[in-house]
Structure 1
């Protein structure tokens, strides 16, 4: 049996936006349930994100360590960032984030996984890319600020990251999804069988 997620939208009887921030907002919807009752659901409205598993020729993954205030932790993560413009091509956003956070470019791009980070409380969708054939980016390094000014950059062997995930020592969701998807792809049909970088993404439609 093949299982897959399907699109569906239950009737909304009322909707409000009690908070609107710079990049995200909070929406309150009254949703009609299958039994006819109405339940109120509060959730974050998010533009969507991209993340990059950048794999070098030595089998190491590029990771960054960054302070995340909501969880009061410095987390090891893979390069990631928001889709800045509605309808933005996620590949272009991923290439931008890899350049800005690591000053690296890649020649080979594939889609590793598409995920909803917290579907019970947010509509954030993330596309996780695999980037290979890495090299130093040309030009001036991107000028960082705020939390990014304190970032640490490292290349770590993939098996070490997997060990850290399974030990509960690495908890960033994009890193967890990315490295475990990479291992699964390597042990399955191989990395060249992954979806192309421009594969459709129904959660965040874009123009190629």
Structure 2
């Protein structure tokens, strides 16, 4: 049996936004349940994100180490960023993030996977790209600030990342999803069978 997520929207009788931040907000909806009762649901409204699993010709993954204040940890992650512009092409955003965070470009881009990070409390959708044929960008590096100013960059063998994930030593959502998806793709139909970089993304429709 093939299973597939499907679009559906239950009736909303009221909605308010009690908090609005710089990039995200909190919304409270009153939702009608199948039995006719109504409940309130609070959730974070998020613009969406992209992440890049950049794989070099030695099967090493480009990772960055960054402080994340909400969890009070420095996490190893793959380059990622917000979809700041409504309707922005996610591939263009991913290429920008790879350049800004790692000063790297890539020749071959594929969609590795699409995920909702925490669908019980946030509508954030993330598209994780696979980037191959990577090389350094010529010229000066992008000027970073705040947490990114203290960021460390490394290239780690894929097998080491898998071990770290299963050992409970690596926790970033995009890193975990990206690394395990890549491992599954390598063991399955191969990387050339992945979706093209411009594949439709119903969760965050974009302009070509």
Tell me the TM-score normalized by structure 2.
Answer: 0.99
CA positional deviation for 1:84: 1.1
Match of 1:159 in 2: 159
Match of 1:93 in 2: 93
Match of 1:71 in 2: 71
Match of 2:121 in 1: 121
Match of 1:82 in 2: 82
4+ runs of 1 displaced by more than 3 Å? none
Distance 2:124 2:139 in 1: 32
Distance 1:177 1:7 in 2: 22
Match of 1:17 in 2: 17
Distance 2:56 2:84 in 1: 27
Query: Which segments of 5 or more consecutive residues in structure 1 lack a partner in the other structure?
Result: none
Match of 2:194 in 1: 194
Match of 2:53 in 1: 53
- Within a 5 Å distance, the mapping from 1:164-179 to structure 2 comes to 164-179=164-179
CA positional deviation for 1:44: 0.3
Aligned-partner SS, 1:16: strand
Tell me the TM-score normalized by structure 1.
Answer: 0.99
CA positional deviation for 1:10: 0.2
Match of 1:110 in 2: 110
Cα distance per residue 1:154-176 (max 9 Å; x no partner): 00000000000000100000000
Distance 1:140 1:49 in 2: 26
Distance 1:164 1:35 in 2: 45
Match of 1:203 in 2: 203
Aligned-partner SS, 2:14: strand
CA positional deviation for 1:36: 0.6
Query: Which segments of 5 or more consecutive residues in structure 2 lack a partner in the other structure?
Result: none
**How many pairs are equivalent?**
208
CA positional deviation for 1:35: 0.7
CA RMSD of aligned residues (A): 0.4
Match of 2:147 in 1: 147
Distance 1:138 1:85 in 2: 26
Match of 2:29 in 1: 29
